[in-house]
Amino acid sequence: MKKIAFIFPGQGSQFTGMGKDLYENFDNAKKIFNKFDEISAKSVSGLCIEGSDEDLKQTINSQPAILAVSLAAYKVLKKETGLMPDFVAGHSLGEYSALYAAGVIETEELIKLAQKRAELMSNAPSGSMTAILGLDEETINRVIQEASSEGIICAANYNTPNQTVISGEAKAIKKANELATQAGAKRVIPLAVSGAFHSPLMKPLSQDFTRYINDTNINDAIIPVVTNVDAKPTVDKAELSSKMIKQMYSSIYWNQSIAYMLEQDTDTFIEIGPGKVLSGMIRKINREVKVYNICDKASLEKIKEAVASQLSV
């Protein structure tokens, strides 16, 4: 066996009923949901289990709900398998689950911090985001450069070699969508989001977020966190604090993060949380690695079977 990475999904992975199976079958998962309800002073467990698609699309709801399911799944995985990863990483919001798994932030403080992040992001300045499929990074950068004449625009998420999300002012994004189509993009998909996340438009919110970070007890990581803002392994608490602030307005270097872990002989990735969004991305980056996910009892059993055969299936 080579190295294992635990990866955690972000906003967009949510679905109605997520976490229901974990809540009903595992006491340690139920405790996590109950803690979210208690600290948040609202029924996060209810949102996960019974919330409508419309409810879960709202940033103020989706972020704590996804985090709750991810932490619950992580607790179950650790207890049932005893697996210890060599790296952890998370996509945008998912990085907070990764920080938890690395021992950087304890449960109560993480819930409070994530709630503040969700509140700030739900009030983000108006803007647009678009997923562009089928263009390489060089072409994307050229499109962004040309469209910047219309306003603020950047690459928000480098998801795979052929999938990039752009973010910025609506006029600039509209221009970029046209240019991407002309450049031969396979698909240009406007995203249903409330703001221009991971763009310079988020910088004022990150300044507000700074004081919440400063009031949070943050520890050195016990497992390297491959961080979104630079795709580098990080363990120092001061550096992690700085990167949490920067992440709000910085590009998410996910493709590069996976590439780094592959270079370090990581051959197994376990996606922990709702859905299989990240699993799909990893298979587009490298088809040779082993990819698992855990979001319910059935998926846990597959991982346990794989562990029994040294993750060789």
Q: Is the pLDDT reported for residue 313 higher than 60? A: no
- C-alpha 3/C-alpha 311 separation (Å) is 11
**Catalytic residue selected from 70, 91, 97, 198:** 198
* Predicted confidence (pLDDT) per residue in 32-75, tens digit: 999 999 999 899 999 999 999 999 989 999 999 999 999 999 99
> 102 in a domain, yes or no?
yes
Task: Output the domain CATH number for residue 171.
Answer: 3.30.70.250
- C-alpha 300/C-alpha 303 separation (Å) is 5
Pairing of strands 290-294, 266-272: parallel
Residue that finishes a domain, picked among 136, 161, 194: 194
Task: Output the domain CATH number for residue 17.
Answer: 3.40.366.10
Residues 49 and 144 in one domain: no
Tokens 């009031």 label which residue? 215
Residues 222 and 156 in one domain: no
* Predicted confidence (pLDDT) per residue in 209-261, tens digit: 999 999 999 999 999 999 999 999 999 999 999 999 999 999 999 999 999 99
* Predicted confidence (pLDDT) per residue in 263-289, tens digit: 999 999 999 999 999 999 999 999 999
Report pLDDT for 172: 97
Which long-range contacts (C-beta less than 8 Å, at least 24 apart) are formed by 260-264? 260/226, 260/231, 260/232, 260/233, 261/3, 261/5, 261/87, 261/89, 261/226, 262/286, 262/289, 264/3, 264/86, 264/87
Looking at the chain, the whole-number percentage of residues with pLDDT higher than 70 is: 98
Q: Which domain holds residue 155?
A: 128-194
The end-to-end CA distance of the chain, in Å, is 11
Residues 118 and 265 in one domain: yes
Residue that finishes a domain, picked among 194, 225, 242: 194
* 92 annotated active-site: yes
Q: Is the pLDDT reported for residue 1 higher than 80? A: no
* Predicted confidence (pLDDT) per residue in 144-200, tens digit: 999 999 999 999 999 999 999 999 999 999 999 999 999 999 999 999 887 899 999
Q: Considering only CA atoms, which of 215, 210, 193 is closest in space to residue 247? A: 210
Residues 15 and 56 in one domain: yes
Question: What is the separation of C-alpha 31 from the centre of its chain, rounded to a whole number of angstroms?
Answer: 23
Residues 211 and 111 in one domain: yes
Total structural domains within the chain? 2
**Residue 12, Ramachandran bin (φ over 0: left; ψ between -120 and 50: alpha; else beta):** left
Residues 11 and 104 in one domain: yes
Residues 276 and 137 in one domain: no
pLDDT band at 307, cuts 50/70/90?
confident
Residues 67 and 141 in one domain: no
**Catalytic residue selected from 70, 92, 206, 257:** 92
Q: Is the pLDDT reported for residue 110 higher than 80? A: yes
Residues 179 and 232 in one domain: no
> Under a CB-based contact definition with an 8 Å cutoff, are residues 37 and 60 in contact?
no
Residue that finishes a domain, picked among 176, 194, 212: 194
